[in-house]
Copies of this chain bind each other. A is one copy, B any other.
Amino acid sequence: MARMAARGSSLETNDLRKVGLKVTLPRVKILAILEEKQDLHLTAEDVYKALLDSGEDIGLATVYRVLTQFEAAGLVQRHNFEGGSAVFELDDGAHHDHIVCQDCGRVEEFVDTTIEDRQKTIASNHGFDITTHALIIYGSCRREDCPHREK
C-alpha cells in the first residue's frame, strides 16, 4: 500500500499540474471545494465561506485571483446570472446551459442539440463567428422541498 494518495498526487494536484499552475495550498483547497459541490454554483463569497468552514485561512482576494486563473485555464466557468455576483462551477469540458429556480435558487443543467444547432445557424445568418453562448431559463421549480429561500 505504498501507491498514491500517499503524498501530493491527488486529483486536484494533477488537475493543477495539467494546466501548468503551481500547486499551492489555496489552489488545491479551492479546487477541492468546487469538486465537492459539483452540483452547486458558488459565488466567490460562497467559496470563501466554505474555506473558512473547513478551517482554512485563505483570503477573499486569493479566492478571486484563483477563480479567475482557473477560468483562464479552463478549469472552471464563470456565469453572470441575475443578482450581482458571478457564480462559478467546475468546467467538465462538456458545454451545458442552465435553468434557474427564482424561488429557491436551484440550478439545473441541460444540453439540447436542437438549440445548439439553431444557434450556429443564427450566428452564421448574422455573419458572426460564434465564440460561446449563455442560455439561462428562469422559472419556478414547483417542488415540495422548494424552500422559497430569501434571495
Q: Are B138 and A131 in contact (CB-based, < 8 A)? A: yes
Within 8 A of B (CB), among A107-138: 108, 110, 112, 114-115, 118-119, 122-123, 126-138
In whole angstroms, what is the CA distance A101 to B127 when docked? 10
CA gap between A139 and B123 in the complex, in Å: 8
Contact B128 A142 (CB under 8 A): yes
Q: How many A residues touch B, CB cutoff 8 Å?
A: 33
Residues of B within 8 A of A123 (CB): 99, 137, 139
Contact of A129 among B133, B136, B140 (CB under 8 A): B140
Interface string of A4-17 (1 = CB under 8 A from B): 00000000000000
Q: What is the CB-to-nearest-CB distance from A21 to chain B, in angstroms, rounded to a whole number? A: 23
Chain B residues with CB under 8 A of A129: 139-140, 142
Given contacts A82-B80, A99-B123, A134-B135, contact A128 B140 (CB under 8 A): yes
Indicate if the CB atoms of B137 and A128 lie closer than 8 Å.
yes
Bound CA–CA A117/B78 (angstroms): 27
In the bound complex, how far is the Cα of B143 from the Cα of A90, in angstroms? 34
